[in-house]
Amino acid sequence: MHDHVSRFRDACYVLAVVRTPAYPAVYVRGTAARRLFPEVSVIRHDVIVLGAGLAGMRAAIEAKRRGVDVAVISKLHPTRSHSGAAEGGINAALGNATEDSSDSHAFDTIKGSDYLGDQDAIEVFAREAPNDIYELEHMGAVFTRAADGKLAQRPFGAAGAPRTVYSADITGHVLIHVLYEQLIKHDVKVYEEFFATQVVVDEGRCAGVIAWDTKSGGLHAIEANHVILATGGVGRMYYGTTNAFACTGDGMSLAWRAGVPLKDMEFLQFHPTTLKSNGVLITEGCRGEGGYLRNKDGDRFMVGDAPNAMELASRDVVSRAEWKEIADGRGVDGCVMLDLTHLGWKKIKSRLPGSRELAIDYAGVDPIETPIPVRPGAHYMMGGVDCDLWGETMVPGLWAAGEVACVSIHGANRLGGNSLMETIVFGRRAGQAAAERVLEQGDTGARIEPGVLADEDRRIAGILNNDQGERPGALREELAKTMYDKAGVFRTEEALAECQATVHDLRERAQTLRLDDHGSVFNTDLTNALELLSLLECADCLVTSALARKESRGAHSRLDHTERDDETWLKHTLNWCDDGEVRLDYRPVTITKHQPLARSY
């Protein structure tokens, strides 16, 4: 059997060399060319989902249910995805705790977005959320229950009613496992630990992806007329971040290089309660359950910026208030204190056990007895791949859902609990739309040409074999500190310009990265390098957009332009890839019912 496989691969190899004569036969020292050589396009699916977090798995399940051939490609095993780290909950107007409505959910989201969210998208989102929650429950999600057996709902920041469905403080974990269970039930093919390096566009249509098999090495062309990007966020461009090491904006960079603009990239949410040591998130649920934020004098400083909502104001508001306390010297060792001690051990142990464990493990304090030192950390990219209400981008057949996408629901600031819901609503919609398109349209004829594969192979081999220059880790740290220092919670023209210059310099230096590992098996040196390149492209888009937007809106807060300016800036930023450079463009915001109002909490 093994012999047949290797003979087949040899044949493919010979065939491809004939088709691309300039191709170097052996380019990795000491290893067999056969293992590293790309497969000639023998792998084909109707739909490929890139990424296996909540949005990706939800999309794949939906497409599979509709009878098309779908495969998931992910650089991690599905349950390792960062959706699993979401803690607090998922928003839907079920009205289980108090009266609630989809309209109210939509309005809170629009106001929270500082009126930059597209209102047609937000209406779809709020309307479809409840059924999606019920469906998750039917799949087996283990949600926390109220005494009557219904799903319990807790209050969250800037929400008009207790709207957040949850599972203690491990909601994301519970959901990622329930969707993985469904992935198994529906027998969806998963290419685990495959790192996508390119989305291929053939004559303006999506043709599939080229991916590196991390486990055994080798590039593969995996063809599909439809590719759904669901690769998540890009928090790792910041030093203080709640995001996993894997959140490196790969999908954003793939789409950008494939000719799709990235939208509203200057809007990156800082979460108010993250740990200093490693950025780990302490859920907003802590404040939802009644936790206080205090400065070094023990005062609840939120009274200044949000006298009504206090700690449960919108995240951008709370982050700014904290940042000011710390920068003005009213913090404790670079942090403010999240005080849960008055909640009592019973509530902490039953509702917030995960947060307690994290505080003990990574901050060395037990929140039952001692307040937790926290500070704002980069958390969520409101912007992302520009797409329509079904997730389709400007390239037919290329779709996006979840954090990688910008539909746009969150506008300039996301409300806690809305991102998990977005992954499910828009993951399902993208899976449905892509599958319907396959069934209507059949094969579009888009193909990955051997030349494209050979070029990509040469590019990857170039990175893999290089042993000159700086290590990826060193550049990543420089980028992360620059972003945290100069494109953080508060921004100025001067700091952003410096930041941009550093990012450009880093992009230049990252052209030659020193790799120690030139092997093909589980080469994480290579994947680190590829991730750094994605991060740098996304950082360039972020800082270029932020420099241009001369106003303060939601998470984008300019000290030199402190007011929101609807006259000039009530519009989406589009970042195009112009031969590797960022080119800016703008598009109006969709407004249906709610004209912009001043935003206070």
- Strands across the sheet containing 205-213: 39-44, 219-223, 205-213, 194-202
| Residue 303, number of CB atoms within 10 A of its CB | 11
Minimum separation from the CB atom of position 277 to other proteins (A) = 4
Output Rg (C-alpha) for the chain, integer angstroms: 24
Q: How far apart are CA 214 and CA 530, in angstroms?
A: 12
Distances in whole angstroms, Cα of residue 521 to Cα of each of 72, 215, 221, 458 = 21, 6, 18, 18
Nearest distance from C-beta of residue 74 to other proteins, angstroms:
11
* Annotated catalytic residue 315: yes
CA distance 168 to 86: 11
Q: Single out the residue of 26, 146, 439, 501 in contact with other proteins (rule: CB under 8 A).
A: 146
Q: Which of residues 189-218 bind other proteins (CB under 8 A)?
A: 215
Instruction: State the Cα torsion 82-88-92-93 to the nearest 10°.
Output: -170
Question: Cβ closer to other proteins: 512 or 592?
Answer: 512
79 binds other proteins (CB under 8 A): yes
Q: Is 495 in the site for other proteins (CB under 8 A)?
A: yes
Given 7, 34, 185, 593, the residue binding other proteins (CB under 8 A): 185
**Residue 50 contacts residue 227 (beta carbons within 8 Å):** yes
Given 58, 64, 105, 173, the residue binding other proteins (CB under 8 A)? 173
Q: List the interface residues with other proteins, window 530-589 (CB under 8 A).
A: 559-560, 562
Closer CB to other proteins, 210 or 280, in the complex: 280
- Token readout for 467 is 């042993």
The CA distance from 226 to 206, in Å, is 6
Joined tokens for residue 469: 């220059």
Site track 300-329 with other proteins (rule: CB under 8 A), x = hit? -----------------------xx-xx--
Exposed, middle or buried: residue 304 (CB in 10 Å: 0-12, 13-18, 19+)?
exposed
CB of 15 to other proteins, least distance (A): 27
Piece in contact with other proteins (CB under 8 A), picked from 179-187, 401-409, 572-580, 587-595: 179-187
Omega of the bond prior to 408 within 30 degrees of 0, cis? Answer: yes
Among 68, 93, 121, 174, binds other proteins (CB under 8 A): 174
Binding mask 475-494 for other proteins (x = CB under 8 A): --x---x--xxx-xxxxxxx
- The CA-to-CA distance between both ends of the chain, in Å, stands at 67
In the numeric block, the tokens 């390149």 are attached to: 533
Smallest gap from Cβ 379 to other proteins, in A, equals: 13
Supply 82's token pair. 């960062």
Q: Which residues 242-301 are close enough to bind other proteins by CB under 8 A?
A: 244-246, 277-278, 280-281
Task: Rule CB under 8 A: say whether 522 interacts with other proteins.
Answer: yes
Token pair recorded at residue 249: 């904006």
Among 334, 344, 451, 580, binds other proteins (CB under 8 A): 334
Q: How far is the CB of 523 from other proteins (least distance, A)?
A: 8
Q: Binder to other proteins among 4, 29, 138, 342 (CB under 8 A)?
A: 138
Stretch that binds other proteins, among 36-44, 57-65, 80-88, 382-390 (CB under 8 A): 80-88
Q: Would you please indicate which residues are annotated as catalytic (active-site) residues?
A: 315
